[in-house]
Structures are given as C-alpha cells and as structure tokens.
C-alpha cells in the first residue's frame, strides 16, 4: 500500500522499522581477507580460454574435413570472436581506462563495428572461405564465455 506524502508518521514508521543490523565498514585486513577468499576472474583469462578453444575447434574442423581451407576459415572465425573482445577489454580495463559507462558504450560499439568489418572482409582475407566452419567456430567461441564463467562459479563454490 503506497503512502501519502501527507502521512509522514506512517512513512517514518514504515522506513524506520528496519530489522537489518547496521552495516559496519571493513578494516583493511578484513577487506584483504575477503578479497583473498573470493578472487575475481580476469577478463584476460576468459579471452585466453576463448582463443585456445578457437584453435582447438579449428584443428578439429581441419582434421574432420581434411581441408586446410576449412581449418583456416575456422581459425578466422575464432579470431572474429577474440580480436574485437580483446580490443574492448584493453580499452575498458587497460591502463588509463576511465571506467565510465560512456566509455564502456563506446568500446562496445567499436567492438561491434570491428566484428562486422571482420565478417564483411572474410571473403577477401580467407580464400577460399568455408562459411560454415567460420560461423560455427565463431558461435562456439562466443559460447565459451558462459562455460568458463560457470566453471569459475563451480570452482568458487567448491573452495568455500
């Protein structure tokens, strides 16, 4: 039931009936201990896993198809996933990054533009191009991010 602005006693009683204990700031040692118990994952680790998986998929694709063109196309698909993401990570998390929402938006737009440009240039860069190998590898590399994050969450839960 929403409160009327004129009923300030009911408003005060509603918001001041807080059952949560007061929040105490952490000391430096407590904050360091908390950070040590809950380490964060580096974006560079995710990109490394993505790149390694792209190379693995390209090797498998090349062996199964017995075509070097398919392997190169698959490798290019992995690059389409990794290179723009690495550029964005460098811009957002690199030295001198502002860390603003506007900066994140600019880097995301640049990432999308570079991804589109790499896909548009694929027929010129990779000849002959196996579109299926490239696109399947691209999609699989993009899905690796979720798998790595799920594995990280499982590892954190097991270590606590």
Please tell me the predicted confidence (pLDDT) of residue 150.
Answer: 82
Between 151 and 18, whose confidence is greater?
Answer: 151
Q: What would the mean pLDDT of 87-114 be, rounded to a whole number?
A: 83
**What is the rounded average pLDDT for all residues in the chain?**
83
The pTM for the full model equals: 0.71
Neighbour-count burial for 43-82, b at 16+ CB within 10 Å, e otherwise: beebbebbbebbbebbeebbeebebeebbbbbbbbbbbbb
The residue-averaged pLDDT of 83-107 equals 82
Task: Transcribe 62-131 into DSSP letters.
Answer: HHHHT-HHHHHHHHHHHHHHHHHHHHHHHHHHSTT----HHHHHHHHHHHHHHHHHHHHHHHHHSSS--H
Number of Cβ atoms within 10 Å of the Cβ of 41 = 14
The whole-number pLDDT of residue 21 equals: 66
pLDDT above 90: residue 110: yes
Per-residue pLDDT band at 14 (split at 50, 70, 90): low
Give 2's contacts (C-beta < 8 A, 6+ positions apart).
none
pLDDT for position 27: 85
- Domain positions in the chain are 39-159
Residues 6+ apart with CB under 8 A from 66: none
Which pLDDT score is estimated for 57? Answer: 94
* pLDDT confidence of residue 19: 67
Mean pLDDT of 43-59: 92
Residue 28: pLDDT above 60? yes
Per-residue confidence (pLDDT) for residue 104, from 0 to 100? 83
What is the distance between the alpha carbons of residues 145 and 18, in angstroms, rounded to a whole number?
Answer: 40
pLDDT top residue among 9 and 140: 140
Closest CA to 61 of 144, 141, 133: 133
């Amino acid at each position: 039931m929403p409160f009327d602005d004129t009923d300030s006693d009911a408003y005060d009683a509603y918001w001041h009936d807080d059952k949560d204990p007061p929040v105490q700031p952490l000391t430096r040692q407590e904050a360091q201990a908390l950070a040590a118990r809950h380490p964060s994952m580096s974006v560079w680790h995710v990109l490394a896993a993505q790149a390694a998986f792209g190379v693995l998929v390209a090797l498998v694709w090349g062996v199964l198809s017995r075509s070097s063109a398919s392997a190169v196309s698959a490798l290019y698909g992995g690059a389409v996933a990794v290179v723009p993401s690495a550029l964005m990570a460098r811009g957002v998390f690199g030295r001198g990054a502002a860390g603003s929402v506007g900066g994140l938006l600019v880097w995301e737009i640049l990432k999308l533009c570079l991804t589109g440009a790499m896909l548009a240039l694929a027929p010129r860069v990779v000849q002959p191009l196996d579109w299926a190998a490239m696109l399947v590898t691209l999609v699989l590399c993009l899905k690796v991010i979720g798998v790595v994050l799920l594995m990280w969450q499982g590892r954190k839960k097991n270590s606590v």
